Chains A and B, each alone.
Chain A
Amino acid sequence: AQRVTQPEKLLSVFKGAPVELKCNYSYSGSPELFWYVQYSRQRLQLLLRHISRESIKGFTADLNKGETSFHLKKPFAQEEDSAMYYCALRGGGSQGNLIFGKGTKLSVKP
Chain B
Amino acid sequence: KAGVTQTPRYLIKTRGQQVTLSCSPISGHRSVSWYQQTPGQGLQFLFEYFSETQRNKGNFPGRFSGRQFSNSRSEMNVSTLELGDSALYLCASSRTGVTNEQFFGPGTRLTVL
Contacts and interface: CB of A to CB of B under 8 A. Distances in A.
Interface of A: 32, 43-46, 86, 90-91, 93-103
B43 A93 contact: no
Contacts of A90: 98-99
Given A45-B104, A46-B101, A96-B97, A101 B31 contact: no
Interface of B: 3, 31, 33, 35, 42-45, 48, 50, 55-56, 58, 90, 92, 94, 96-99, 101-106
A97 B58 contact: yes
18 contacts: A32-B99, A44-B104, A86-B43, A91-B45, A94-B56, A95-B31, A95-B50, A95-B56, A95-B97, A95-B99, A96-B33, A96-B55, A96-B98, A97-B48, A98-B43, A98-B45, A98-B102, A100-B44
